[in-house]
């Protein structure tokens, strides 16, 4: 298995309407992945329109000009394929993996909802999907232990007005207040060919894909002006830690410690990715060794650290632990802080570094091992960095990180005076 590079061909074109098309041929199996990245996420949402990008993740499956409600899903699954969509602060993506002979169907479906959703969007559909989103908020954020942690962390990490200040689920008040025409205009603005990257990976030729894409997407008009997202690259340091304490119906105390670092794709974030792996990935990590196995104050399966791969502002590094019975949240928080602080003073060993790089290599090649994983990766790099081939930079960048760089990065961005600590206390039972 190679250590670096992207060992498959990549070919690209741009249609006259601005749609960027990426094709990577792989004849290993008769399957093809279609992945459409729209450059719209919660960071693009104007004031009063939070949650719109996520709502459209739902609405785009509810019918378009030539496709009946839920028919997109029925057609793909009936052809032996799978499909889904996701939204995050940076983008919305829609994707299908189908037998290669059904490529044309997948492309036609994606083109129809890009160019034909607004005429088919009704007040009934909008109202129905608003209720679906409300239920999702209750199920994922409000009615599960610690479910609102992300909703609480973002405002602590990013000030009001910052594009990452609010979560993709958005405000229910905003979703309820907006009229049908407001949603239609949001779609016209952002779900345009010149604001999207279409990636196709698998048992196809670039010539075949380019011809089909021109056939189905070529007549969709470009949007003349797409508003840029607010600039969030600079987040002023407050010079003081941010602390929030929550008493809730949770099974045990839990602590989240978060820091703003560097944007995904930058050299600084590559260092933080390796640092996070050393700090909190698996049983060999420092957090596990110290808090779960050593001091035995954290539950073994509920301790770790990870970066959130956001590309347009200092991305967060989050460490978390859940207390064992009888351990206070205060003791747990002190333990988390101590292990994080020691990244500056206790050098990362050669074995720690080798282990972290091995884990990251495995994760990278696991992503690259499937056509849908490669399609999503190429779409990301084309959208966020202008060149899908830059995906080949990521693994070599991780493998080049040194222990000295980790110590320097920890000293730079993990300072206690610019730290966020979110603590959950369990409600006392009578």
**Region label for 63, one of left (φ > 0), alpha (ψ between -120 and 50) or beta (otherwise):** left
* Entry pTM: 0.95
* Continuous H helices in 24-179: 52-59, 71-78, 103-120, 123-137, 149-157, 172-177
The angle that helices 123-137 and 180-190 make with each other, rounded to 10 degrees, is 80
Of 221-235, 277-291, 299-313, which range is least confident? 221-235
* Alpha-carbon Rg for the chain in angstroms: 23
The mean per-residue pLDDT over the stretch 171-199 comes to 95
pLDDT digits (tens, 9 = 90+) for 108-124: 999 999 999 999 999 99
Q: At what angle do helices 206-217 and 103-120 cross, to 10 degrees?
A: 20
| pLDDT digits 0-9 by tens, 397-414 | 999 999 999 999 999 999
Distance CA 386, CA 147 (A): 35
Contact 276, 193 (CB under 8 A): no
Helices (H), 35-102: 52-59, 71-78
Residues with Cβ within 8 Å of residue 179, at least 6 apart in sequence: none
* Res 416 pLDDT > 90: yes
Q: Is residue 1's pLDDT more than 70?
A: no
Alpha helices in 15-69 (DSSP H): 52-59
CA distance 297 to 328: 9
Choose the weakest-confidence range: 103-107, 167-171, 198-202: 167-171
Average pLDDT over residues 19-25: 98
* CA distances from residue 389 to 103, 382, 393, 417 in whole angstroms, order as listed: 23, 8, 8, 39
For 247-252, what is the mean pLDDT? 96
340 versus 5: which is more confidently predicted? Answer: 340
Share of the chain above pLDDT 70, in %: 98
**Cβ(384)–Cβ(263) below 8 Å:** no
Measured in whole angstroms, the distance separating CA 399 from the mean position of its chain's CA atoms is: 23
pLDDT tens profile 215-229: 999 999 999 989 999
Give φ, ψ of 11 to 5 degrees: -130, 145
332 band by pLDDT with thresholds 50, 70 and 90: very high
Q: List % helix, strand, coil for the chain (3-state, nearest 5).
A: 45, 20, 35
Max CA distance (Å), the chain:
70
Cβ–Cβ < 8 Å for 360, 277: yes
Q: Which residue has the tokens 């600084």?
A: 268
Instruction: Give the pLDDT band of residue 2 (cuts 50, 70, 90).
Output: very low
With a cut of 80, say whether residue 279 has pLDDT above it: yes
pLDDT of res. 3: 47
Mean pLDDT of 355-361: 98
The DSSP string of 361-416 is HHHHHHHHTSHHHHHHHHHHHHHHHS-GGGGGGHHHHHHT--HHHHHHHHHHH--G
Distances (CA, A) of 208 to 216, 379, 388: 13, 19, 19
Output the pLDDT for position 5: 61
Average per-residue pLDDT for the chain: 95
- 363-374 burial code (b ≥16 CB/10 A, e <16): ebeebbebbbbb
Q: Are 3 and 399 in contact (CB under 8 A)?
A: yes
Give the pLDDT of residue 6: 77
Cβ(37)–Cβ(94) below 8 Å: no
For residue 430, the model assigns a pLDDT of: 56
């Amino acid at each position: 298995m190679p250590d670096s590079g992207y060992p498959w061909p990549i070919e690209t074109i741009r249609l006259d309407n601005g749609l960027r098309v990426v094709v990577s041929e792989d004849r290993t199996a008769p399957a093809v992945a279609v992945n459409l990245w729209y450059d719209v996420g919660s960071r693009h949402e104007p004031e009063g329109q939070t949650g719109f990008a996520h709502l459209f993740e739902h609405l785009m499956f509810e019918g378009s000009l030539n496709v009946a409600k839920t028919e997109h899903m029925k057609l793909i699954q009936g052809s032996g394929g799978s499909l889904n969509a996701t939204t995050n602060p940076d983008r919305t993506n829609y994707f299908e993996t189908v037998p290669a002979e059904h490529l044309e169907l997948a492309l036609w479906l994606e083109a129809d909802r890009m160019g034909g959703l607004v005429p088919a969007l009704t007040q009934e559909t909008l109202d129905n999907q608003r209720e679906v989103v409300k239920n999702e908020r209750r199920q994922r954020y409000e009615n599960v232990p610690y479910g609102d942690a992300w909703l609480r962390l973002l405002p602590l990490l990013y000030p009001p007005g910052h594009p990452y200040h609010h979560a993709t689920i958005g405000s229910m008040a905003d979703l309820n207040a907006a009229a049908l025409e407001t949603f239609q205009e949001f779609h016209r603005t952002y779900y345009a060919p010149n604001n999207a990257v279409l990636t196709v990976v698998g048992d196809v030729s670039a010539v075949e894909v380019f011809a089909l894409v021109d056939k189905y997407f070529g007549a969709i008009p470009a949007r003349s002006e797409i508003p840029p997202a607010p600039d969030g690259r600079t987040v002023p340091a407050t010079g003081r830690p941010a602390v929030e304490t929550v008493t809730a119906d949770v099974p045990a105390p839990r602590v989240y410690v978060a820091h703003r670092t560097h944007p995904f794709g930058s050299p600084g974030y590559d260092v933080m990715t390796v640092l996070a792996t050393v700090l909190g990935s698996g049983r060999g990590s420092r957090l596990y060794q110290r808090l779960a196995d050593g001091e035995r104050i954290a539950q073994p399966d509920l301790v770790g650290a990870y970066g959130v791969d956001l590309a347009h502002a200092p991305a967060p590094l989050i460490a978390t632990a859940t207390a064992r019975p009888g351990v206070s949240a205060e003791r747990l928080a002190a333990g988390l802080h101590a292990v994080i602080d020691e990244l500056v003073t206790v050098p990362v060993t050669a074995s720690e570094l080798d282990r972290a790089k091995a884990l990251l290599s495995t994760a990278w090649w696991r992503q690259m091992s499937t056509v849908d994983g490669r399609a999503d990766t190429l779409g990301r790099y084309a959208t966020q960095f202008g060149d899908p081939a830059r995906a080949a930079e990521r693994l070599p960048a991780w493998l080049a990180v040194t222990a000295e760089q980790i110590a320097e990065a920890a000293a730079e961005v993990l300072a206690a005076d610019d730290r966020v600590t979110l603590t959950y206390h369990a409600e006392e039972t009578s």
